Amino acid sequence: MSNIYLIADENFTILIAVKAADEKEAKNYFVKEIVKVDDEFIEYLTEFTYPSLFGNFYQDHIGPFYNMFNPEEFEERIEQMAMDDRKEYISSWIVKNTKEFFKDAPELGDEYLRQLRKSNEENKFVGDFSKEFIEKSAKIAIQNDFYYGKLNIIKLDLEHESVQIIKK
């Protein structure tokens, strides 16, 4: 049996209605449709800047490598490293964090790292990712509450009432 679900981001700035059997299927529809219409979300997934998905990889166990008050500068603990050591340290954490994020789909992690290397060689800040990468990484990002935050999934039940009030 199908139900109607309303799905909204954490701040209720985007709202999608879907017909689905359950919340999991509703969330899958959200992912499938959102990559078609939200260009800013696609940029979040494909750009190697902060803030973006890349920002989640550009950190170690202590925190981000950049200075929170001036993202153009490194944190002092990183700035103090010799340039070659800093480059190797940052690179190793990006690889580690990328592999961890894509642990259930290592081929996506490999594509991400290939595109990152290519973008560094070409001095550009966006990857040329496959459609499959966009769709699957969007699902992983949304499952981890990245970008949209925790989704609000509301099952509409108008079987016994003609109105259902939904509050934030």
What pLDDT, in 10s, does the model give residues 4-38?
999 999 888 888 999 999 999 999 999 999 999 99
6 forms bridges with which residues in the sheet? 17, 154
- For the chain, what percentages of helix, strand and coil (3-state, to nearest 5) are there? 50, 15, 35
pLDDT at 101: 95
Query: For 33-85, how does the pLDDT look when each residue is reduced to its tens digit (9 = 90+)?
Result: 999 999 999 999 999 987 899 989 999 999 888 877 776 788 888 889 999 99
Q: Hey, how many other C-beta atoms are within 10 angstroms of the C-beta on 36?
A: 9
Question: Residue 113 has which token pair?
Answer: 């790292």
Q: What is the pLDDT of residue 142?
A: 93
Q: How far apart are CA 145 and CA 166, in angstroms?
A: 21
Q: What is the pLDDT of residue 150?
A: 92
Distinct helix (H) and strand (E) counts, the chain:
7, 5
- 44 phi, psi to nearest 5 deg: -55, -40
The region, left, alpha or beta by phi > 0 then psi within -120 to 50, assigned to residue 18 is: beta
Kindly give, in sequence order, each residue whose CB lies less than 8 Å from that of residue 160, ignoring residues fewer than 6 positions away: none
Segment 98-146, tens digit of pLDDT? 999 999 999 999 999 999 999 999 999 999 999 999 999 999 999 999 9
Rounded Cα distance between 5 and 44, Å, is 26
Identify the pLDDT of residue 168.
66
